[in-house]
Amino acid sequence: MEHVLVIPRPLFDQLGSFQGFQPDADRYLQAILTPGANFFMERPSAEQDPTHKQIIPYAIFHHNGRYLCYTRGGASGEKRLVAKRSIGIGGHINPVDQSHDGLGETLYFNGVEREIAEELRIGGSHTQRVIGLINDDSNEVGSVHLGVVHLFDLSSDEIVSNEDAIQELEFHSLADLHANRDNLESWSSICVAHLASKD
């Protein structure tokens, strides 16, 4: 049985719930990643329980003015998103990510690195930074998840899928992604709109 990292919905509301993109990530993360603020829940229960939010790293990959986009295949762990186009790679934080400091920041960032290594093979070097959070309570997937958006700047566009759930990898300009945002999953559409507003 998979266990996933969650926070109580009331904590999110207390910090200031929002719909869409929130660039003030530090304030939320400091509270969410404080030991005692989060805990593990069985995934089947968490997927049906809007009184909790699963914390999901959502990584966007950028190279030379273009962003990685892919199609979610049938092997995707989130069946409600199969066949959708996405610019975000990510997944759940699991107990395997724990280290000596328990449920603090190390747990979260260990989970980010594990998820990326599982899903992609990246050539060259990269830097990354957190650029915001995503919340979308307008659908049943979004109502139980809270996304932490990581922007990876790549030195090379050598990147390939490491699993069947990630198909048809291509780099696209922000203009192309914005023009076709109706074909994207909701979190990706929200991210593209934010990036376009900054462009």
What pLDDT digit, counting tens, does each position of 54-67 carry? 999 999 999 999 99
Phi, psi angle pair for 99, to nearest 5°: -130, -160
The gap from C-alpha 179 to its chain's centroid, in whole angstroms, comes to 22
Global confidence as pTM? 0.90
* pLDDT number for residue 13: 97
Q: What is the mean pLDDT of residues 108-125?
A: 88
The ranges assigned to domains in the chain are: 3-198
* pLDDT number for residue 79: 46
What kind and span of H or E run contains 140?
Answer: none
Confidence of residue 100 (pLDDT cuts 50, 70, 90): very low
Residue with tokens 């699991």: 94
Confidence of residue 90 (pLDDT cuts 50, 70, 90): confident
In angstroms, the CA 37 to CA 100 distance is: 17
DSSP strand E in the chain: where? 3-8, 20-22, 39-42, 52-63, 66-72, 85-86, 89-90, 120-122, 126-135, 145-154, 159-161, 166-173
Phi, psi angle pair for 107, to nearest 5°: -55, -50
Decide if pLDDT at 99 tops 80. no
Which fold, 3-198? Nucleoside Triphosphate Pyrophosphohydrolase (3.90.79)
135-179 per-position pLDDT tens digit: 999 988 889 999 999 999 999 999 999 988 888 999 999 999 999
Decide if pLDDT at 29 tops 60. yes
The conformation of residue 97, written as its DSSP 8-state character, comes to G
Alpha helix (H) ranges present in the chain? 9-16, 25-32, 43-46, 105-119, 174-179, 186-198
* pLDDT number for residue 76: 44
Q: What integer best gives the mean pLDDT of the chain?
A: 89
Say if CB 188 and CB 81 are below 8 A apart.
no
Confidence of residue 81 (pLDDT cuts 50, 70, 90): very low
In angstroms, the CA 32 to CA 28 distance is: 6
> Hey, what amino acid is at 10?
P
Confidence of residue 87 (pLDDT cuts 50, 70, 90): very high
In angstroms, the CA 187 to CA 171 distance is: 18
